[in-house]
């Protein structure tokens, strides 16, 4: 059983650029969610995808967007990068059945630095 993998692990961008982060879900999981973790803070929910559709979103602007593919892998795209977007971006997968359990399996994250 493979875990959640994310790429790249580290990247540096400049303000105004665009970035795409990628995530491969744990085998058998049908739901993927993304979180932003600023230094010294807890993760903050960005959005969640189930069956290739966004079915939940946190308090993030539209320049944060995502995709989920038929194989349940996912992308997080951020346009018009700002300095405050510098953070660790975490992908988490889960298996959602009749009820939501909140048991998420996290990757190690992609650390984004915006200069």
| Residues at the site binding another protein, with contacts judged by CB under 8 A | 3-4, 33, 35, 40-48, 55-56, 58, 90, 92, 96, 100-109
Distance of alpha carbon 57 from alpha carbon 77, whole angstroms: 14
Nearer to another protein, 20 or 44 (CB): 44
Nearest CB to another protein, comparing residues 19 and 46:
46
* Pairwise CA distance, residues 36 & 92, whole Å: 11
- What is the nearest approach in angstroms of another protein to the Cβ of residue 21? 15
What minimum distance in Å lies between the beta carbon of 90 and another protein? 7
* Closest CB 15 distance from another protein, rounded Å: 26
């Amino acid at each position: 059983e493979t875990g959640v993998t994310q790429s790249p692990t580290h990247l540096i961008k400049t303000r105004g650029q665009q970035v795409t982060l990628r995530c491969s879900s744990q085998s058998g999981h049908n739901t993927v969610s993304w979180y932003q973790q600023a230094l010294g803070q807890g993760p903050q929910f960005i959005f969640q995808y189930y069956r290739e559709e966004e079915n939940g979103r946190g308090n993030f602007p539209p320049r944060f967007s995502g995709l989920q593919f038929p194989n349940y892998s996912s992308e997080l795209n951020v346009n018009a990068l700002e300095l405050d977007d510098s953070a660790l971006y975490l992908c988490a997968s889960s298996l959602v059945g009749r009820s939501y359990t909140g048991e998420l399996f996290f990757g190690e994250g992609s650390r984004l630095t915006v200069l």
